Amino acid sequence: MTDMLSENETQGHADLFSKFDPLIEMRRDLLSTGVTDPFGLVMEKVISPTVALCNGRETILLGTYNYMGMTFDPDVIAAGKQALDDFGAGTTGSRVLNGTYAGHKAVEEALCDFYDMKHAMVFSTGYQANLGIISTIAGKGDYIVLDIDSHASIWDGCKMGDAEVVPFKHNDIEAMEKRLRRIPEGAGKLVVLEGVYSMLGDIAPLKEMIAVAKKYGAMVLVDEAHSMGFIGPNGRGVAEDQGCLEDVDFVIGTFSKSVGTVGGFCVSNHPKFEIMRLVCRPYVFTASLPPSVVATATTSIRKLMTAAEKRAHLWESSRTLHKGLTDAGFQLGTDEPQSAIIAVIMPDLERGAMMWEALLHEGLYVNLARPPATPANMTLLRCSLCAEHSAEQVQQIIGMFTRAGKTAGIL
């Protein structure tokens, strides 16, 4: 044995990390310009849903997904504290074994009430909800037809399953129909769409697209992560707003945006939906959400059902910011405000990073988004509004953008 080992020469190993060299170099180039690392921000203290302490400075938050400002809602906080006391810090178990507490059933009931649907299944994150549902329901020989600008969790769900994956051009109804028409007869079909596309903040023409999908006998899954709580008369999302929610087979959503905590879900009226709990691996093979998280989510979801005034105020802020930035001379991702996301298009990554830093110095945090996360290789400064932003804050934000735009040479 010893002899054999000594005969083996040590081979020079290929560094598995060399594939990341281009990205490492791109990052080094960007940081060498002296710009603050846009992907390394730390919030030292969170003062409210709209203000945090960053680098010792009070900063207005315009880059969170806290659309409805529920993170500091007193009822939500109280529910979480109570659950911590009553049920402990975590479940240490899978939903199908020892990880289902009364709170997990309660949050699923709250979701059924919120969406007026029969079944709800809660995952530990929104990412896992897409990963689990898509990879499980579309199997070998089935076809997934999806928008090319779909979220990473949708793509990863496709990659994890065995179905044929067929993308079409963003929001292009004709391109979608052509692909559905070409699918071999008898094959299972799943069309995957999003209500709001988070990079540009644009919405999908769901009514038309779902009608086409149904014409070809496809099942439809809609990710309403960025619309829940805000869009639609009851905050159920873009499908509700366009009057086609009843034609959606599966709605995917998250607790990490309007709900204000973390977790993901799928709601459905499919009569066999409950079998998902046994066959969906990202649901089974992971620990369930902590009791405090599901308690905060339940309280938040129930409060969002009656949050019409907050919704109205958020729409008002979205319109004001969109108009203010347009008037200031910025190029935006949409001609009209379509959601709580307003994307400001930057000429390139370097000036985008400069502008991002200039805004931070003004006391404003937005998200810098760059390829490959963005469509058409764009660099974007993504602003996401919160219902708790006051009208004064929105005016302040427009002023900050105008000054920073001049500093960075964008305007």
Per CB under 8 A, residues contacting another protein are 143, 148, 158, 164-169, 175, 178-179, 182-183, 372, 376-377
Q: Which is nearer to another protein, 56 or 372 (CB)?
A: 372
Q: What backbone phi and psi angles, to 5 degrees, belong to 72? A: -115, 15
**Please, what is the minimum distance in Å from the beta carbon of residue 168 to another protein?**
8
Find the angle CA(102)-CA(153)-CA(138) to the nearest 5 degrees: 85
Cα–Cα distance measured from residue 156 to residue 159, given in angstroms and rounded to the nearest whole number: 5
**Please, what is the minimum distance in Å from the beta carbon of residue 366 to another protein?**
25
**Please, what is the minimum distance in Å from the beta carbon of residue 170 to another protein?**
10
Residues 325/332, Cβ–Cβ less than 8 Å? yes
Q: Which is nearer to another protein, 158 or 293 (CB)?
A: 158
Q: Which is nearer to another protein, 169 or 323 (CB)?
A: 169
Q: Which is nearer to another protein, 183 or 314 (CB)?
A: 183
**Please, what is the minimum distance in Å from the beta carbon of residue 140 to another protein?**
11
Residues 286/257, Cβ–Cβ less than 8 Å? no
**Please, what is the minimum distance in Å from the beta carbon of residue 159 to another protein?**
9
**Please, what is the minimum distance in Å from the beta carbon of residue 356 to another protein?**
24
Instruction: For residue 374, give the DSSP letter.
Output: S
**Please, what is the minimum distance in Å from the beta carbon of residue 204 to another protein?**
18
What element of type H or E holds 48? strand 43-48
Q: Which is nearer to another protein, 109 or 156 (CB)?
A: 156
Q: Which is nearer to another protein, 21 or 113 (CB)?
A: 21
| 84 Cβ neighbours under 8 A, 6+ residues apart | 291, 292
Other C-beta atoms lying within 10 Å of the C-beta of residue 329: 12
Q: Transcribe 317-362 into DSSP letters.
A: HHHHHHHHHHHHT--BS-SS--SSEEEEEESSHHHHHHHHHHHHHH
Q: Could you tell me the two tokens for 186?
A: 């008898």
- DSSP SS3 for 373: coil
Other C-beta atoms lying within 10 Å of the C-beta of residue 344: 22
